[in-house]
Amino acid sequence: MDKMLIVSANPHIRSKASVTKIMHMVNLSLIPALFMSYYYFGFKAIFLTLVSVVTAVVTEAGIQKFRKVAVTVSDGSAILTGILLAFNVPPYIPWWIVMLGSFFAIAIAKQAFGGLGFNIFNPALVGRAFMLASWPVEMTSNKFWASPVASFGAKTGPTMDAISSATPLNLVKTALKADPTQETVKIISDAGVSYWDLFVGNVSGCIGETSFLALLIGVIFLMILGYVNWRVPVFYIGSVYLFTWAMGYDPTFHILAGGLALGAFYMATDMVTSPISNKGNIIFAIGLAFFTVAIRIWGGYPEGVSYSILLMNTVVPLINKFTVPKKFGYVKPVKS
Amino acid sequence: MKYTFKGGYHPPDGKEFSEKKSIEKMPLPKIVAIHLHQHIGAPSKAIVAIGDEVKVGQPLSEAGGFVSIPVHASISGKVKAIAKITDAGGSKSNAVIIESDEKDEMFEGVGVKVDYSNFSADEIKKKIAAAGVAGMGGARFPTHVKLSPPANKKIDYIILNGVECEPYLTADDRLMQESPDTIIEGLKLMMKTVDAPNGIIGIEKNKPDSIKVMRDKTSAIDNVSVIELEVKYPQGGEKQLIYAAIKKEVPSGGLPMDVGVVVSNVGTASAVYDAVALNKPFYERVVSVTGESINDPKNVLARIGTPSSELIEFAGGVKEDVYKILNGGPMMGAAMYEMNAPVHKGTSGILCLSKENAKVYTEQPCISCGKCVTVCPLNLLPTDIQLNVQHGKYEEAEKLGLMDCMKCGTCAYVCPSKRNLVHYFSIGQAKINEMKRDAK
Ligand code: SF4
Ligand code: SF4
């Protein structure tokens, strides 16, 4: 037989899993959230997401071409960064800010570190931090937030000055500052917001973060596929509930409001920037909850999810170091 | 109660190709190449010379130390050469080449029934050693050495490994169904040598026929039990099997005897019986010749030293799409450079895989998904160990358990980035061994 046989190390068969498949499934799982953002904020939400995704993909391809390395945009990870970045901006922010943010996320937070797998920080969150630092007004001013469109299809989208309104977190924080004895439920219901609204996403907020429900559907899909370590969201959200409850705040409000769902389901679970072992992930999640609550309650910002994730990203190597699993048949070294 | 271990993964097992095929005797090979060193330990020393006439079962060599065993002629004929021949693992070493006289004449006393009921433990062990019996599951450790624990190690269990968790392979499965009695007798003999009060036969649940046969055959024996193990790779790893059966962890760097166990493959047990009761040395074994790229998958009884190509031919030859041919299973077997590599004592399968199935991937960067960590049966951090080896930080890798790794390949199997983890572990382990040798 003159056929060339192939020789390589074992194992000789491999599973069908691939990075590309994982990334595309994560992208797919964000469709319900994207749909809800369109439902509540109109076409602008889709448009900004598109701007962000296209910028991310073009930036990644461009840099890889320039560095003369393989172009890997088809692995779906740049698309994911694009979507997540757009999900973190207010609906009425000028599109060019999103474009610059997306460029920054890919160029600096991802490619400058060496590309997928080598980045320390979640690229989308670095992009967000960059936008927040450079255009604080556009990123936080009430002018750029919007109340959801009243009903689907009735309008093509609200005009900017008509429906701008503060996010529930901002509202509650301001109100409690003025009078700490007020009940959170009362504050939001005075503003026409119920827990249910918070759950489905019928509130003002960043494009993709408002609907706990849509994000939950997405993450459950990913957990079933085994792409998300359930410990992170469960311990993160669970601890936020516990901490806020222990401190006398409204825990239900705190888990439903703001970007906690998006952060806990999609940003903190980013494989590259989270710890590797289960134990490490639990510690990571509890740390996230601690900083999130601390920023929300004592910090200068109403929301603390993205900063706490970035903060905890920096200690991941440390967590990994201290959570090396005990190997099978471990024997204590004998002291000599 | 579930008998299993923590971690692991069940790849598609491909047993359907050959699990229903009865063991067929191979036609006699015209020529065989029998390596002098086909076990773990010191090579054996040739005692025949070119031109000698040899008969089946005649010793060709003598042990080169305690941890060593002889090899035997597997056909009758003339010693044509003693030369360096490439083995299944790709390295060259001395082999005795015998040309057949096609008479298949037995060496004196070989195959003659012996009354072994009064044999002492030492006599049994001597017989096993003289017959050249080594672990048939793949590791090929001389069996008599395993059965000679130091006096302070009490052996409570002999566990027979009938797990066969490697995908595709069905040799043990068939053997358990077709000659259960010799396996059980072999087990009893082994129990006698180390005075072990209990025997356990572990079989994966996906072999219901074998489980049934072995259960029926052992039902009357008080101290031998059959356990059904969960279907998961690497359930047949020595440490995993012991853990599943008696819930004890073999200490890192230790041996099964440290927890009072000797593990042996079912095939080996059968070879032990042959050696003691039939005075028959280890010169043939059951091999699964299978895979999607072979025309007529089979289980065959082949003489040691038969060129793999003859087994492949006997099984209808390879298909067009053949890509890799392995000696052993797809998870831990060795890819062969040439189809002629002779069958050795550890050859449990000759596997022909297609490109579709055995594709070689380009590595992508690790995305820290942790899948490898979840499946590692030894609870190691495969990705960290690999990166340390890659960057030359061998000591760091060793601290993380590099030397514990049994290269089972489960981590590399599940890795979405298709990292060649095992490849690096081999490099790292070799490097550490080298460093240890140099330090001495
Ligand atoms: S090859 Fe080594 S590191 Fe990988 S799963 Fe097996 S024992 Fe663990
Ligand atoms: S499975 Fe592969 S990609 Fe995932 S952590 Fe392990 S080595 Fe990295």
CA dist A309 and A316 (Å) reads 10
Going residue by residue through chain A (336 aa), what tens digit of pLDDT does each one get?
A: 456 678 888 999 999 999 999 999 999 999 999 999 998 888 889 999 999 999 999 999 999 999 999 999 999 999 999 999 999 999 889 999 999 999 999 999 999 999 999 999 999 999 999 999 999 888 877 667 766 654 333 344 443 333 456 788 888 888 888 888 888 888 888 888 888 988 988 888 888 888 999 999 999 999 999 999 999 999 999 999 999 999 999 999 999 998 999 999 999 999 999 999 999 999 999 999 999 999 999 988 888 899 999 999 999 999 999 999 999 998 877 765
Q: Do A19 and B251 touch (CB under 8 A)?
A: no
- From B292's Cα to the closest Cα of chain A, the distance in A is 12
Residues in contact with B91: Cβ distance below 8 Å, sequence separation at least 6, in sequence order: none
Closest CA–CA distance from residue A6 to any residue of chain B (Å): 5
* Nearest-CA residue for atom 8 of ligand 2: B366
> Which ligand is the nearest neighbour of the Cα of B372?
2
Q: Residues in chain B with pLDDT < 70? A: none
Closest CA to A88 of A218, A219, A230, A261: A261
Q: Which of A4, A5, A10 best probes binding to B when mutated, by most B CB atoms within 10 angstroms?
A: A10
Residue listed under structure tokens 């069996």: B143
Q: Which of residues 281-320 of B touch A (CB under 8 A)?
A: 309, 318
From CA A312, how far away is CA A310, in angstroms rounded? Answer: 6
Which ligand 1 atom minimizes the distance to the CA of B375? 5
Q: Assess contact for A315 and A290: CB atoms under 8 A.
A: no
Ligand 2, atom 6: nearest CA belongs to which residue? B372
For position A165, what pLDDT does the model report?
Answer: 65
Q: Measured from the CB, is residue B378 less than 6 Å from ligand 1?
A: yes
Place of tokens 């269990």: B157
**Beta carbons of B90 and A12 less than 8 Å apart:** no
CA-based end-to-end distance of chain B:
47
Nearest residue to B175 via CA among B245, B241, B271: B271
Alpha carbon distance B188, A283 (integer Å): 51
The whole-angstrom distance between A290's CA and the closest CA on chain B is 24
Angstrom distance (rounded) from CA B68 to CA B38 = 9
CB contact under 8 A, A329 and B378: yes
Q: pTM for the complete prediction? A: 0.91
| Closest residue by Cα to residue A204 from A249, A153, A254, A143 | A143
Give the closest ligand to the alpha carbon of residue B369: 2
| pLDDT computed for residue B220 by the predictor | 92
CB-based contacts of B262, cutoff 8 Å, min separation 6: B146, B147, B149, B155, B157, B158, B159, B190, B194, B196, B256
Q: What are the phi and psi torsion angles at A299 (to 5°)?
A: -75, 175
Cβ of B331 less than 6 Å from ligand 1: no
C-alpha A60/C-alpha A53 separation (Å) is: 11
Sequential DSSP letters for B301-366: EEETT-BHHHHHHHTT-B-TTEEEEEES-TTT-EE-S-TTPBP-TT--EEEEEEHHHHPPPPP---
CA angle B78, B81, B83 (to 5 degrees): 150
CB B77 within 8 A of CB B53: yes
Domain covering B111-277 in this structure, CATH number: 3.40.50.11540
B7 Cβ closer than 6 Å to some ligand 1 atom: no
Interface test with B, best of A3, A7, A12, A330 (most B CBs within 10 A): A12
**Cβ-defined contact of A15 to B413 (cutoff 8 Å):** yes
Whole-angstrom CA distances from B23 to B175, B178, B264, B286, B315 are: 8, 8, 21, 7, 12
Angle B354-B359-B361 (CA atoms, 0-180°, nearest 5)? 175
Sequence ranges of the domains in chain B: 111-277, 371-439
- Interfacial B residues in 242-271 facing A (CB < 8 Å): 243, 249-254
Peptide bond into A180 cis (omega under 30): no
The nearest CA of chain B is from the CA of A16 a distance in Å of: 8
* Cross-chain CB nearest to A19 (options B374, B407, B416): B416
Q: Which chain B residues are closer than 8 Å to A330 by Cβ?
A: 251-252
Residues 186-245 of B with CB under 8 A from A: 239, 243
The DSSP 8-state label assigned to residue A142 in this structure reads: G
Nearest to A19 among B322, B367, B422 (CB): B367
Cβ within 8 Å of residue B382, ≥6 positions away: B372, B373, B376, B405, B411, B412, B421, B425
**Close Cβ partners of B104 (under 8 Å, ≥ 6 residues apart):** B28, B56, B75, B76
Predicted complex: ipTM over 0.85: yes
Chain B (322-351) residues lying within 8 Å, Cβ to Cβ, of chain A: 322-326, 330-339, 351
Q: What are B143's two structure tokens?
A: 């069996």
Distance in angstroms (rounded) separating the CA atoms of residues B282 and B70:
9
User: Does B422 contact A at CB distance below 8 Å?
Assistant: yes
Ligand nearest to the CA of A277: 2
B376 lines ligand 1 (CB under 6 A): yes
Extract the tokens encoding A304: 């603390």
What local confidence, expressed as pLDDT, does residue A1 receive?
47
- CATH code, A19-149+168-318: 1.10.3430
- Paired tokens of B379: 């609870």
Say what percent of chain A tops pLDDT 70. 92
